[in-house]
Amino acid sequence: MLTREDIFKHVKENYDTVPDYPFKKFPNYAVLRHKSNGKWYGLLMNVLLKQLGLDGNEKVDILNLKCPPELIGSFRNGRYILPAYHMDKEHWIILILKRIDPNLEEIYNLIEQSFNLTKKS
């Protein structure tokens, strides 16, 4: 299972990103931003499964990432990659961290893709 600490460690080592917590109402919501332009490339939240249209009242960590619209349909697998939560569903997806398989290469590639899509051109 992938954890928020795994994500934070990965983005610190690879993008020199430290999570930002801008929401007083939601103190566990962490924004991943570019240092150069302040743009978000990820948003890590904890929400109820039912808020995602899934069965259950369990709170889970999710990660919103930007994705090219032409690839979103192929990535959404219904198990751990779904349409974005509180973001543009045409350009963003969510990952349900506790459902992610141990092979993290695909997830880290999605984070890199989001980072690259949102950096200053």
Q: Across the beta sheet with 92-96, what order do the strands follow? A: 30-33, 40-48, 59-66, 92-96, 81-83
Neighbour count for residue 12 (Cβ, 10 Å): 12
Of 45, 43, 65, give the one whose Cα is nearest residue 109: 65
Whether 75 is in a domain gets the answer yes
Whether 87 is in a domain gets the answer yes
Whether 33 is in a domain gets the answer yes
Mean pLDDT of the chain: 86
Cα-based angle 94, 5, 24 (whole degrees, multiple of 5): 70
Task: Look up the CATH number of the domain holding residue 44.
Answer: 3.90.1150.30
- Which has more pLDDT, 113 or 69? 113
Whether 96 is in a domain gets the answer no
Residue recorded with tokens 């109402």: 25
User: For 47-62, what is each residue's pLDDT tens digit?
Assistant: 998 888 888 889 999 9
Distance in angstroms (rounded) separating the CA atoms of residues 26 and 35 = 22
Neighbour count for residue 19 (Cβ, 10 Å): 17
Whether 78 is in a domain gets the answer yes
Which pLDDT does position 9 carry in this prediction? 96
Contacts of residue 45, Cβ cutoff 8 Å, sequence gap at least 6: 26, 28, 29, 30, 61, 62, 64, 85, 86
What is the residue range of 109's domain? Answer: 4-91+101-118
Whether 47 is in a domain gets the answer yes
User: For 74-117, what is each residue's pLDDT tens digit?
Assistant: 665 556 778 776 676 678 888 888 877 666 788 899 999 999 99
Question: Across-strand partners of 30?
Answer: 44
Whether 29 is in a domain gets the answer yes
Reading the block at residue 21, the tokens are: 């917590």
pLDDT at 2 over 90: no
* Number of domains forming the structure of the chain: 1
Whether 18 is in a domain gets the answer yes
